[in-house]
Chain A
Amino acid sequence: MIELQDIHKAFGPKEILRGVDLTIPKGESMVIIGGSGTGKSVTLKCILGLVHPDKGKILVDGKDVEKQDREEFLSRFGMLFQGGALFDSLHVWENVAFRLLRGKLKRPKAEAKEIAIEKLRRVGLTPDVADQYPAELSGGMQKRVGLARAIAAEPEIIFFDEPTTGLDPIMSGVINDLIREIVVEMGATAMTITHDMTSVRAIADKVAMLHGGKIRWTGPVSEMDSCGDPYVTQFVSGSAEGPIEAVR
């Protein structure tokens, strides 16, 4: 279980998070929605320790993330980055098996490559992709490789940062289905940030709306359309009229 308690974060004079409280139960898929620049990525980076909150506490399974062994803590996580964030200088299989080639989870090279190819197959890529470089792949294929890398070490918690950004609707659907299948299959706790409502409906068990540096609403995805919160209603319908200012 991941718990965020009163998280604050500012960059210079700009306050991004103003007291975020959020609980993600173990094994659930939580999707955080909200407009651009509302702090969705900052929230995610705070949990991973890539950004340090100015105030507040983050607990994973009841333990303060700041007080845990960094490598052990991060070994429980997998992350799919918005742009894939694949390492250009490494082959696709080396990207997927990155964690398995070094550190505490290190395996023999042949075994790591075998696992990488298996994970590539799991995300719908053929083994011949393994020996290519990321730059040789299309955007959709790079996202799948990123997904394969996120699940390679069988993490307990997986983060997805804008998983469908820049993809065509069909490829977005493929990635959404894959994420849902993998999260269910692995029993992992998942946190996704997106403003793609098709993704939200495909991936989420629960939804949280971030606005003004705070969680405005949280609830099951089935209640999202009828929750009555004017911010959520405007965001879901994509209307220019409502409490969320179009020009921010």
Chain B
Amino acid sequence: MGLLSPIAALGRAVLSALAWVGRLSIFAADTIRHIFSPPYYPRELGHALLTIGWLSLPVVGMTAIFTGAALALQIYDGSARFSAEAVVPQIVAIGMVRELGPVLGGLMVAARVASSVAAEIGTMKVTEQIDALVTLSTHPMKYLTAPRVLAATLSMPALVAVGDAIGIMGGYLVATQRLGFNAATYLTNTVNILSFNDISSGLAKGAVFGFLIALMGCYQGMQSGRGAQGVGKATKTAVVAASVLILASNYLLTEVFFSA
């Protein structure tokens, strides 16, 4: 029995992980069904667009500008080793638009939105507000989950686009003010290197990340245990799971968009 117990523990962990994936998949399918079927709650959607999209702009902008600036310095220093300093604008642009803009923006929004959505819905669950919704003939998935997931899916590409632009601007400022690049040449090189595929892949990543962030916030909130500890655990799990899913799906999407 002693010899088999690690195998049994591994089996339990695998089964538990599979059950989690199954429950999450059903929840995601249910959410998509509720997004596309009436009744719709435009006011809830508007509120979610404001809190998830608009109010995330400062954190995404700050992340992007410092990342773009640091990236310009790093690329300049690294490329100087083989006398290729001129590639700074091209690498900053591609790096920001394809990877850093969507991924870092996604992680920052995950920290901000997945936690707040999980805490809000978790608190609603433990204070019987979810039960109250049901008794008032309102489906909690339709009223709480669908607007938040739709809002995050719609607003993340916009946040990524703004983040990309600000990140490139961060690189531009460092390159022109500190590294001695010509402003016009820097901008021309940036514009010329970017293709439609670079930009659209970043925006598509943003939409997927937005969906995953809000989905994890809502799912963990709905699964929240009792009391402050239950809500705290739901919040933590939502952020960790959303972050891991962003990184994993980023790899898969990069394979889809850019593998030869």
Interface residue ranges, A against B (CB under 8 Å): 45, 48-50, 70-71, 74-75, 77-79, 81-83, 85-89, 98-99, 102-104, 149
Contact = CB atoms under 8 A, between A and B. Distances in A.
Interface stretch (B6-14, B133-141, B224-232): B133-141
Contacts of A81: 128, 131-132
Given A102-B39, A103-B39, A45 B131 contact: yes
Contacts, number: 48
27 contacts: A49-B134, A50-B131, A50-B134, A50-B135, A71-B137, A74-B136, A74-B137, A75-B137, A79-B132, A79-B135, A81-B128, A81-B131, A81-B132, A82-B128, A85-B127, A85-B129, A85-B132, A86-B132, A87-B129, A87-B132, A88-B129, A89-B47, A99-B136, A102-B41, A103-B39, A103-B138, A104-B137
The 5 closest A-B pairs by CB, nearest first: A85-B132, A85-B128, A74-B137, A79-B135, A71-B137
Contact of A102 (B127, B128, B138): B138
A78 B136 CA distance: 8
Given A81-B128, A85-B128, A103-B39, A98 B136 contact: yes
Contacts of B132: 79, 81, 85-87
A123 to B, nearest CB: 17
Nearest to B127: A83
Given A45-B131, A103-B39, 10 more contacts: A49-B134, A74-B135, A74-B137, A81-B128, A81-B131, A86-B129, A98-B136, A98-B138, A103-B137, A103-B138
A140 to B, nearest CB: 17
Contacts of B131: 45, 50, 81, 85
Nearest to A161: B128
Interface string B103-147: 000000000000000000000100111011011111000000000
